[in-house]
Structure 1
Amino acid sequence: MRGPSRAAPAAWDGRRRAMIAFGPMSITLLICAAQGLLLAGLLLRARQNRAANRWLALLIIAVAALMTPYIIGYAGFYEKWPWLSFAPLSYTLAFGPLIYLYTAMLVGAVPVRIWPHFVPVAAQFLAYAVVFPFPLATKNWWNGVAHEPFIDPLLDIAALVSIAAYSIAAYRQYRAYRMWLDDNRTDGVDFDPGWIRNFLAALALITLVWAGFLLAKWLDPARDYFDQFPLYVAFSALVLYLGIGGWRNADTAFPQATPAAPPEPLESAAPGRDWAAQGRLWLGRIEAEHLWRDPGLTLAGLARILGTNTTYLSRGLGAAAGENFNAIINRHRVIEIQRVLACGDDPRDLLTLAFDAGFNSKASFNRAFLDMAGMSPSQWRLKSQIPQEI
C-alpha cells in the first residue's frame, strides 16, 4: 500500500501541520495497534502451542508495523521529520508465511524448512532499508523514478498473491486436520479447530478489502493517504481480532495429527484379504470386550489392542460397517445409553450415563447422540418415558 512512509513528503497534498498533533485518526489506529502488541506479548508467553502462538504474535506485530506509518503520518511526524520516509516498516510479504506457519504448527504439521518462506520478506525489507539512510532529496528522486511507479505496485501484488497462496495451503491443512480428527478420535468435536477457519475467513475478508483499495488507487491516482484511513481501520480490527481470538485459543491443547503407520510386513503378505470379514472380527472384539467404554480410546490405541495398524484397521472397519472409527465407537455408546433410558428405572442423570458409556465431554456426547438418534439426549429420555399406544 502507498503511504506516508513511501511517498516523499514534498509530494503530499499540502495538508500541513505545524506541530505533532494526535487527532482522532491517529489515536484510533494507535489504540488498536497498542492493544494488538499487548496481546502479541501475551501470546509470546503462552504455555501451550508455543511455536504456533509465536508465529501468530509475529503476524500481529507485522500488521501493527504496517499501521505505524499511518499512525505517525496522521499525527504530522513526516512533516516535522521528513527523513522518516522509507523507514522499513512494511512486511506484507511476511503475512502469507505467518498465516500458514501458525495454522500448520497449531495442528502439528511442522514444515521441513522455514527460512525459504521469508526470503521475499528479506527482499522487501531491503527495498526500504537500503534507501532509508539517504538524504531526503535522493529519496524523493528514487520514489519518483522507481519506487512509487514500479517497486511499490510490485510489492503490493506480490503480497496479495502470497497471502492467497498461503491461505489456501493453510485451509488445506485445516481440512486435513478435521478429517484426521473424524477418523482417529471420538471426541473430535471438543477440539474442532473452528478458530482456524474463522481466522482464515477474517484474513480473506481483509485481503479483499485491501485489494479493493489498491484497485481504487490505481483507477484514481489522486487518492492520497488520508483516503486510506478506512483500510487501516480494517487492519486495526484485524489486529484486535487476531489478538483476542488467538489469546482465547492460546492454551487449547489440540491433539497432534500423526501420519498413518506403514502396513505391517506379515499382514501385507496376505494378498486378496477379505477386509469385510476381518473387519467383522474386529467389530466383534470391540463389542464383546466393551472396548468402546474407554473414554480415551483412539484409532491408534484400538489398533494396538487389536494387534494391527491404523491403516488396516480403518480399511477393515470401513469394509465391514461402512463407517469410520469415530462413528462406530460413538454408535455403541449411544446405543448403550438408549438401552438404559428405555429401561426407565436408572436414577443416573444424562451426563453421568454419557461418562459411564465412554464419552469424555458433554459436547461430544450431545453431538454424537444428535447425529445418530436424530434428537437430543433429553428429548430421547422424554420420549422413552411416554407410554406408547398399542
Structure 2
Amino acid sequence: MIAFGPMSVTLLLCSVQGLMLAALLWRSRFNRAAGRWLALLIIAVAALITPYTIGYAGFYDRWPWLSFAPLSFTLAFGPLLYGYTAALIGLPVPRAWPHFVPVTVQFLAYALVFPFPLSTKNWWNTIIHAPIIDPAFDIAALVSIAAYSAAAWRAYRGYRRWLDQNRTDGVDFDPVWIRNFLAALLLALLVWAGFLIAKQIDPTRDYFDQFPLYVGFSGLVIYLGIGGWRHSATPFPSMEAGPLPEEAEPPDMAAAATPSRDWAQQGQAWLARIDNEALWRDPALTLAGLARILGTNTTYLSRGLGAAAGENFNAVINRRRVAELQTLLQAPGEARDLLALAFAVGFNSKASFNRAFKEFAGMSPSSWRLKSQKLQMA
C-alpha cells in the first residue's frame, strides 16, 4: 500500500523545491552556463534522494520491479561542482565530456540490469552488485567529489588573487558563495562517509537507518538552489581573457624588454604618469585598462609596479585614492558625505571604499573624519 508519511513527505518536499530552483537556474538570464551546471548538480542530488522518497512511501513493496531504477549519479557530483565554479568565474572548461565517462558507467550498471526479471535482479544484487559494485561506486564518488572540490577550491583561490591583482573593486566580486557551497559539500561528504563506515561496521542497517543522511542531502539541494539563485545575477568579472600576451606589446617596449631592464626605474616612470594624470580617479580602471593607457601589457606593468612600489595594482591605485580622500577630509569646512567623497576620488562602491580606507589609513573613514575635525578644533 502506498502511504506518504513524514519521512517520504519530507524528502519529497525538499526535492520538489530543489527541482523548482533548478528550473529557475536553468532559465536564468545571467551566468547562464554556471546556472545550468548547478541546476544539473541539484537534479543529480534530487535523483539520489528519489529511491528513498518512494521507498519510504511503500513503492518498492507495491512494485518491487522498480529496483535498479537508474537514479544514482553520484559520480557526476564532482565534475558538476567544478563546472559550476569554473563557469561562474569565467574559467574555460575544455573537453568536459571525459569527466562524465565514470557516471555513464554508473548509469549503465543500473540501467542494463533494470529490465531483467525481479528474480534475476535479486540474484545479481546478492552475488555482485551489493558486495562489490555498489561499494566501489560509493568509494569512487567520495574520491571524485574530494578531488574536484580541491580543484574548485584552487580555482576559487586563484580567482581571488586575480581580483586583487587586476581590479580595485575586487571585494565587490569576491565569490564567497563558492567557498560556502564547497564547505557545504564537504560537510555532506563527511556525513556520507560516516554512514558508509557505519554500514560496514553494522551490515544489518537498512534504508530506514539512512533517513538522516538523506535529510542532509535534501537540505543540500535547497541550499544549493537558494544560494545559486541569489548569486545568479552577480556579474563576476571573467578570468578567461587573462593577461595580454607579451607579443601584443608595442614594438618600442618589446625592444626594451631585455634581462638587464631596470624594472624599478620603469615602474617609477609609470607611477609618475599615474600621479601626474591622476589616472587613479577612473572608477572603472583595471590592470588591463591601465596597461593600455601606459602602452604596455599587464605582465610588464605588474612587474614594474612591484619593483618600484612593492605593491600590486590594487594597492597602488587604492592607496592614492585614500590619500586624496584624507586630504579632502582635512580641508576646513569639508562637509560632504563620505560616500560622495569616495566616489569623487575614484571608488565605485561602499564596500571597496571601506575596505581600502581601513587598510591604508588604519581606521574607518568615519573615525578618520572625526580625528581630522578634532585636530582642526585644537
Fold equivalence (TM over 0.5): yes
1:226 CA displacement: 0.3
1:124 aligns with 2:106: yes
Deviations 1:294-334 (A, max 9, x none): 00000000000000000000000000000000011001000
TM alignment of 1:363-374, pairs within 5 A: 363-374=351-362
The equivalent residue for 1:181 is 163
Q: Which runs of 5+ in 1 are unaligned?
A: 1-18
Within the alignment, does 1:220 sit opposite 2:202 as a pair?
yes
Partners in 1 of 2:268 and 2:17 — Cα distance?
57
Comparing 257-266 and 142-151, the one that deviates more: 257-266
Q: Deviations over 1:215-238 (max 9, x none)?
A: 000111011100000000100110
Contact 1:340-1:346 within 8 A present in 2 as well? yes
Deviation digits for residues 151-176 of structure 1, max 9, x if unmatched?
00000000000000100011111011
In the other structure, the counterpart of 1:262 is 245
Structure 1 distance, partners of 2:301, 2:224, is 39
Corresponding position: 1:98 with 2:92: no
Does the 8 A contact of 1:344 with 1:384 survive in 2? no
Query: Aligned Cα RMSD in Å?
Result: 1.1
Distance 1:33 1:358 in 2: 47
| Residues 1:292 and 2:280 are matched in the alignment | yes
For residues 305 and 384 of structure 1, what CA distance do their matches in structure 2 show?
Answer: 35
1:355 is matched with which residue?
343
Residue of 24, 27, 39 corresponding to 2:9 = 27
Correspondence for 1:346? 334
**Quick one: which amino acid aligns to residue 141 of structure 1?**
W
1:70 equivalenced with 2:52 (yes/no): yes
Amino acid at match of 1:89: L
The whole-number CA distance in structure 1 between the counterparts of 2:287 and 2:324 is 20
Say which of 293, 310, 334 aligns to 1:305: 293
Query: How far did 1:261 drift?
Result: 2.0
Which one-letter code corresponds to 1:77 in the other structure? F
Provide the rounded CA distance (Å) in 2 between the counterparts of 1:197 and 1:126.
Answer: 33
- Preserved contact between residue 64 and residue 239 of structure 1 (Cα < 8 Å): yes
The partner residue of 2:370 within 338, 358, 382 is 382
| SS state at 1:360 partner | coil
What letter matches 1:61 in structure 2?
I
The answer to whether structure 1 residue 337 and structure 2 residue 319 are counterparts is no
Q: Deviations over 1:187-211 (max 9, x none)?
A: 0001011000101111001000000
Q: How much has 1:254 moved relative to structure 2?
A: 0.2
What is the aligned residue count? 372
Match of 1:239 among 221, 243, 252: 221
Unaligned runs of 5+ in 2: none
Contact 1:96 1:163 in 2 (8 A): yes
For normalisation by structure 1, the TM-score amounts to 0.94
User: Quick one: distance in 2 between partners of 1:48 and 1:180?
Assistant: 22
Q: Which amino acid is 1:261 matched to? A: L
Q: How does 1:84-233 map to 2 (within 5 A)?
A: 84-233=66-215
Alpha-carbon shift at residue 347 of structure 1 (Å):
2.8
State how far apart, in whole Å, the 2-side matches of 1:108 and 1:359 are.
Answer: 24
C-alpha distance in 2, partners of 1:47/1:284?
A: 43
State the identity %. 73
One-letter identity of the residue aligned with 2:52 = Y
For residues 257-290 of structure 1, what are the alpha-carbon distances to aligned partners after superposition, in whole Å with 9 as ceiling and x for unaligned? 1322222365344330000000000000000000
